[in-house]
Structure 1
Amino acid sequence: MMKRIIFALLLVPSIAAAQALPNISTLNVVYNTRKATVKPEGDLKAQIDAVDKEIASANRLGKTGEVRRQIARGMALLGGTPWTPALDFQNSLALRSDRTIADSTVTYALRLEQIYSPAIELTPALTAKVSLRKRTPPAPGSMTPSPTTLVKELGAFDGISRDLRESPFAMELDVSGVDDGAYVIETQVMDATTAVATTTLGVVLHKGLDARLRTLETAAGSVVAGARADVTYPADYIRNVNRGRIGLGTFNVGTEITTAEAVLATAKGGKDPFKGRTGDFERHYVLKGANEVMPYRVYVPKAYNPTAGAPLVIALHGLGANEDSFFDSYAKLPPQLAEKHGFLLAAPLGYRVDGFYGSNLMSAGDAASRRRVEYSEKDVLEVLRIMKATYKVDESRIYLIGHSMGAIGTWALGAKYADTWAALVPFSGVGSPALAERMKGIPQFVVHGDNDPTVNVSGSRNMVAALKKAGADVTYVEVVGGNHTDVVVPNLPQAFEFLARQHKAPTAVTQ
């Protein structure tokens, strides 16, 4: 039953599509949320049931390309579009490169590939027309892609195989002479004179990128140890994006490099560039084992006193979001409320945007999924450790909050490290009722909308019932008509008021 509960906060306002295809977790959430919204009946339900069987079979056999194909088919049907051979071919195509983020002065290598074998008959004479295009930023809150405008024609290519799984088509493109920024490389596949499909790849081009990154990595050795990761973060992140380990997300190349250069300049002479700093800023560290630089966002209230100390809130984002979510979304309320109550606020990435913070509720069980879940938990714990080492934290007042996937993590880590937390605040989440007994001593403020199409309200109802049965102090707010996201902002002030009243009882000392 638990595996069938679909959840996640989908926050993916990326400035360009990532090199890596959207991860399967995100695709599943989009698809299942769409099903919950459309509520298919009759013939459509029968078609969707057939799609779901194909998805289950492909998942069981580890055929991720087929999973993507069937999800695309299901999304088309739910949108009222017939699944045709042409649409099948369209969704089979993918553009890949070794560099999503690239120096525009260097020749750009690109490959046209297929992620599955489509059912379509084509003549041998396939060609491709490639262009560099600029996408207009979408309207605030819009999930609909905006139209693109032509920036530069990149060439026409003949001799493209009909089987791009066996023979991917390689291209070398001249992307020089354009402004720094995010672009879309568009490839139109032609069967003789007829366009049969179009596929795109989001890229970020930056003149002189390679030299600036080399300078940062070389100079990082002269910086105090605690700030080195803040200097090397842009190079590390870009390297991982280009290797296909992570998506581009909201990473702004120019801003991140400029910020790292400013840290480097401030750190000259062995200075700690973050000592005594208050307000909102981002920090970084190297996660051992993963050997990657992890970002985390911090808010230090103006009244912070390193002698008196302060409570600490750890905030966990939803699926597809990142460490910026609790700072830049939710009407930017969390840092304002942290300032009001004198709380330190820290938001980890959780290793990946789909890390799940140690929870196995939706884990596929394969080695890659287990590793992602494990390091997601480690990232949260390491950020907690660093915050306690850097600031004077009142250990009787450490709180854990989260939305959607972050709420799942809140209950998972709340149960596993129950002695750490003075209170928990999960929004729109789900957990394992079997873990309620472990959390019976932790006060909790739980919020969910009864019209949530992404995480069914039963996720919170079942947890609250189990927690109350175990004797936990639970305040439950169920918002009539509330959906997955609109329940957060109105209830954040009350949630922080709740946190301000919670103190963990001191541990008894035996004589």
Structure 2
Amino acid sequence: MTVRAACRYLLHLPPGYDQGGRAAGKRWPLILFLHGAGERGNDLELLKRHGIPKIAEARPGLPFIAVSPQCPAEGWWASAPLIALLDEIERRHRVDKDRVYATGISMGGFGTWQLALDQPRRFAAIAPICGRGNPLLAHRIRHLPVWAFHGAKDRVVPLSASADMVRALRKLGARPRFTIYPDAGHDSWTRTYENPRLYAWLLKHARQPR
């Protein structure tokens, strides 16, 4: 489903969302997907090249409300509009606020780390792919389940960008998962999003009490 609002985004609703009866009051997990630099602009169809929008179109059974905003041309992911978007989605749809997840690729991986650092108690888990965070702020998310992914041969965003965040979290006693694809370059997302274990892992986690 294509939605045009202050922040343009694609919206996927899971099977059974529109059913009546007992299902009408059900709350659903939400996954926020942040694209990379190549999908910026004003054409939402570009988002279907990679990641969650591609998977949602190929596999309509994806069991999440999936929200995929589009960053303006020449723009960069900023937390404030993404927070406003999540607030809007939670008002309009039956979201389980204890099962909200964030993921993104490249520029979107940067955005995923930053959004979690800025909203450390909002998410149940995050899965940044070939992104970079600020290790000096890792203490903010040491409680948060993290599964990071990166290609060992990435020449766009070096492997150290993810490794530094994982290392910082581990020094704080956290136990982030870290998958390194030895033969992958920058595209470490295709096999990640095609792996059903990612979605099962996300759904295992609910937001921790404050």
TM bucket normalised to smaller? 0.7 to 0.9
Structure 1 unaligned spans of 5+: 1-280, 287-293, 359-376
Q: Name the amino acid aligned to 1:488.
A: W
- Matched with 2:76 is 356
Equivalent-residue separation in structure 2 for 1:338 and 1:384 (angstroms): 22
Aligned alpha-carbon RMSD (Å) = 2.0
Identical amino acids, percent of aligned pairs: 26
Following TM superposition, the consecutive aligned residue runs of length 4 or more in structure 1 with deviations greater than 3 angstroms are 322-328, 334-338
Distance in 1 between the 2:99 and 2:199 partners?
Answer: 12
Q: What does residue 20 of structure 2 align with? A: none
Q: CA-to-partner distance for each residue in 1:354-376, whole Å, 9 max, x for gaps?
A: 43323xxxxxxxxxxxxxxxxxx
**TM-score w.r.t. structure 2 length?**
0.87
Larger C-alpha radius of gyration, 1 or 2? Answer: 1
User: Residue in 1 aligned with 2:9?
Assistant: 296
SS in 2 for 1:357: coil
Deviation track 1:207-266 (CA, whole Å, cap 9, x = no partner) reads xxxxxxxxxxxxxxxxxxxxxxxxxxxxxxxxxxxxxxxxxxxxxxxxxxxxxxxxxxxx
Equivalence for 1:434: 136
Q: Structure 1, residues 26-73: CA drift from partner, whole Å, max 9, x if none?
A: xxxxxxxxxxxxxxxxxxxxxxxxxxxxxxxxxxxxxxxxxxxxxxxx
- 1:418 corresponds to which letter in structure 2? P
**1:392-421 deviation digits (Å, cap 9, x = unpaired):** 110110001000000000011101101101
Letter in 1 for 2:26: A
Once residues 437 and 324 of structure 1 are traced to their aligned partners in structure 2, the CA distance between those partners, rounded to angstroms, is: 37
Q: CA deviation at 1:325?
A: 5.0
- The alpha carbon displacement at 1:481 in A equals 1.7
In the other structure, the counterpart of 1:474 is: 176
1:333 to 55, 61, 69: 55
Verify the 8 A CA contact 1:396 1:506 in the aligned structure 2: no
1:421 aligns with 2:123: yes
Which structure has more RCO (C-alpha within 8 Å, separation ≥ 6)? 2
8 A contact 2:36–2:107 mirrored in 1: yes
C-alpha distance in structure 2 between counterparts of 1:324 and 1:467, whole Å: 36
CA-CA distance at 1:430 after TM superposition: 1.1
State the shift of 1:326 in Å.
4.9
What CA distance in whole angstroms lies between the structure 1 residues aligned with 2:46 and 2:129? 14
- Mapping of 1:180-329 within 5 angstroms? 281-286=1-6, 294-304=7-17, 305-322=23-40, 323-324=44-45, 326-329=47-50
1:488 to 181, 189, 194: 189
SS at match of 1:497: helix
Kept after mapping to 2: 8 A contact 1:282/1:297: yes
Matched, 1:392 2:94: yes
Aligned AA (1:327): K
Number of the residue aligned with 1:497: 200
Q: Please say if residues 112 and 128 of structure 2, whose CA atoms lie closer than 8 Å, have aligned partners that are also in contact.
A: yes
Structure 2 unaligned spans of 5+: 18-22
* Aligned residue number for residue 346 of structure 1: 67
C-alpha separation in 2, matches of 1:338 and 1:459:
33
Do the aligned partners of residues 302 and 393 (structure 1) sit closer, same or farther apart at CA in structure 2, a change above 3 Å counting? same
Q: State the secondary structure of the residue aligned to 2:8.
A: strand
Measure how far apart 1:473 and its partner are. Answer: 3.0
Alpha-carbon displacement from aligned partner over 1:12-33 (angstroms, at most 9, x marks no partner): xxxxxxxxxxxxxxxxxxxxxx
Q: Which amino acid aligns with 2:200?
A: E
Per the TM alignment, residue 324 of structure 1 is displaced from its structure 2 partner at its CA by 4.5
Deviations 1:274-300 (A, max 9, x none): xxxxxxx111223xxxxxxx3110000
Alpha-carbon spacing, 1:320–1:443, altered in 2? closer, same or farther (3 Å): same
The answer for the alignment partner of 1:463 in structure 2 is 165
